[in-house]
Structure 1
Amino acid sequence: MEKKQERNEDDDFSESFLQTLEQQTNWDGSPMVKYRGSWYLKIFFRSVLSSHKHFKARDSDIILSTLPKSGTTWLKALAFSIVNRGTICCDIGQNPLLTCNPHTLVPFLVMFEENNPHEFDQPTDPRIFATHVPFKALADSIRESTCKIIYVCRNPLDQFISICHFLTENKLEKDHAGPLGLDESFDMFCEGTHPYGPFWEHMTGYWNAHLENPGKVLFIKYEDMQEDIVFNVKKIADFLGCPFSSEEEERGIVEEISKMCSFQSLKNVDKNGYSFNGLFKNNTFFRNGRVGDWTNYLTPAMAERMKKLVEIKFQGSPGLTFKI
């Protein structure tokens, strides 16, 4: 079976190759395929494989990784602003974040096309890209180069509620009768059957990579960013090798970037537009962003189930915990 998969994978990721993979329908009705232990939305799967095989990372690249709805948009805005602050902070009115969605400024690697590899040849250095794939599924060139990876992790209960709202609002599968109920959706999530899941393998993969090589992988929790964004903005800048100078700190540049990239600032930019070739409404990237919103939807029994699941799945990843 493995040889068959490898042969078909090289053959333009044909439909016959897809038929060899386990398939499932996500709670919103979107088809998914399971590949090497992880689930992917079928609509993006060929692009995931293409970027894995053909994307060539530079040592100066910056890769931003998250599970969907775990702070992706926020991280994109922060990384873009930190790296380009020399230009942005000289003329605050010229900041692209004032007029366009962060997803326009920082492309996803899933948008990489084998037939048009030069599309990602950005004139600026470093280049910044984003991805949702697990650490093990990153392009070999990313893991083998000295490029930097920043991973933002979110409490799985909040992440679950946020992605449920997001996929239901956007309805990738237009002809589907409707999403599953919350109980059934939560069951699937706890079983690891969801886009880029299982969530615990996604989280522990990046956490363990961070422990093994903290100079390569920075691991940040969404909740920590909410608690002290100024501290984490400086932490990101230090990790990327472009720390804020004393003069910049005195001028309030760190606070300026933090405010510019806040939920309130970003949600009003191009909020009526669409991203990713019209697939996603921009306003659905900004629902509320609060920590603990899951308490408005999930029962204490569900929370207890998640707590026990996390304790079991994180046993091999010392130091990785969540407040549930």
Structure 2
Amino acid sequence: MDLPRPEMFDFHGVHMTHYFTDNWEKVQNFKARPNDIVVATYPKSGTTWVSYILDLLHFRQTDAERENTVPLDERVPFLEFFMPSLYTPGTEMADMLSTTPRIIKTHLPVQFMPKSFWEQSCRIVYVARNAKDNVVSYFHFDCTEKIQPEPGDWKSFLQRFKDGKMVFGSWYDHVCGWWEKKQMYSNIHYMFFEDLVEDTGREIRGLCSFLGLSPSEDEREKIRGAVQFDVMKANPLTNLEDDTTLDFSISQFMRKGKVGDWKNHFTVAQNEQFDEHYKQMMKNATLQFRTEI
């Protein structure tokens, strides 16, 4: 499908495109329910991975047919996404979900979250990924995803990431904003992509504890197997193979899922400059990331 690349603009201090702001009033007035579960992430941080884990934890044993017939992006709608010519708006998809709980994903920075999620004390799973791997994944995604702004070359993209001129804003603001919110709001489970790669089973146990779930060890192990990267990549329902906005001749939606791929992209000079910039941006943060495991 031939789509014009959208332009970014400043939206209440955050760079956005119209695909995520055209339905703003309905997003902000969205009626959360107390048992809703939100997967919140900066783009390319493990959103699909954690969405799938949560979906399987809640519904695999009660509705196996759904798992094998319904694409994941319909099971876990993208709240703020609005492209009515091709897709049902995210707010409508969330309202139409028949599952309990509803699992809803968002890339919104914490200050943009609809207030009803806080008022209803909803549980939120936030997933963060180290900045170096995040920018590499985001670059490849923007080359593939035709409804993202023109990515330009790697060098200019990396500079734009450092400047926070990305769709959904600055990585630094996003991960730190949600981290600060976690200190005041106990219903946020803050996870790290690197921990998930290192020991998926351990992280699934942590999610079960947070969500009050108690699947058997055998069921947890089956879910751990089902959410391995290569298994999900081979599954058309999780690899979004029907998404006409993606150019699969450039890259798969699910590309590598590794920790440390940044080493294949950063030059020595870029890495040194990035480290210096990172140190300045994160000097007051208590948040710690790993760039290799």
* 1:222 aligned residue: 193
**Preserved contact between residue 155 and residue 322 of structure 1 (Cα < 8 Å):** yes
Which residue of the other structure, out of 295, 298, 302, is the alignment partner of 2:263?
295
* 1:232 aligned residue: 203
Q: Which amino acid aligns with 1:269?
A: N
Report whether the alignment pairs 1:265 with 2:248. no
Change (3 A) 1:311 1:253: same
Aligned-partner Cα distance in 2 for 1:116–1:298: 38
* 2:275 aligned residue: 307
Which residue of the other structure, out of 11, 26, 36, is the alignment partner of 1:35?
11
Q: Which runs of no fewer than 5 residues in structure 1 stay unpaired?
A: 1-27, 89-93
Change (3 A) 1:321 1:65: same
After TM superposition, the structure 1 = structure 2 runs for residues 159-238 of structure 1, keeping only pairs within 5 Å, are 159-172=134-147, 179-213=151-185, 215-238=186-209
Aligned-partner Cα distance in 1 for 2:114–2:240: 34
Aligned-partner Cα distance in 1 for 2:93–2:170: 33
Q: Which amino acid aligns with 1:125?
A: T
* 2:291 aligned residue: 323
Deviation at 1:260, TM superposition (A): 0.7
Deviation at 1:287, TM superposition (A): 0.8
Q: TM-score, normalised by structure 1?
A: 0.78
Which residue of the other structure, out of 99, 113, 118, is the alignment partner of 1:138?
113
Q: Which amino acid aligns with 1:208?
A: E
Percent identity over the alignment?
27
Deviation at 1:29, TM superposition (A): 5.3
CA RMSD of aligned residues (A): 2.6
* 2:75 aligned residue: 105
Deviation at 1:211, TM superposition (A): 2.1
Aligned-partner Cα distance in 2 for 1:231–1:285: 26
Deviation at 1:95, TM superposition (A): 5.1
**Preserved contact between residue 37 and residue 101 of structure 2 (Cα < 8 Å):** yes
* 2:85 aligned residue: none
- Three-state SS of the structure 2 residue aligned to 1:274 is coil
Q: Which amino acid aligns with 2:20?
A: F
* 1:78 aligned residue: 53
Which stretch shows the higher mean deviation, 98-107 or 190-199?
98-107
Deviation at 1:274, TM superposition (A): 2.4
Show CA shifts across 1:105-158 (max 9, x none): 110102478998586242221111000110110001112221011111111111
Aligned-partner Cα distance in 1 for 2:65–2:225: 13
Deviation at 1:225, TM superposition (A): 0.3
Deviation at 1:201, TM superposition (A): 0.3
Change (3 A) 1:210 1:255: same
* 1:54 aligned residue: 29
Deviation at 1:99, TM superposition (A): 4.3
Aligned-partner Cα distance in 1 for 2:42–2:146: 19
Report whether the alignment pairs 1:254 with 2:223. no
Aligned-partner Cα distance in 2 for 1:197–1:167: 15
Q: Which runs of no fewer than 5 residues in structure 2 stay unpaired?
A: 83-87
Q: TM-score, normalised by structure 2?
A: 0.86
Aligned-partner Cα distance in 1 for 2:93–2:151: 38
Aligned-partner Cα distance in 1 for 2:40–2:11: 19
Q: In terms of Rg, which structure is larger? A: 1
Q: Which amino acid aligns with 1:104?
A: E
Aligned-partner Cα distance in 1 for 2:22–2:118: 20
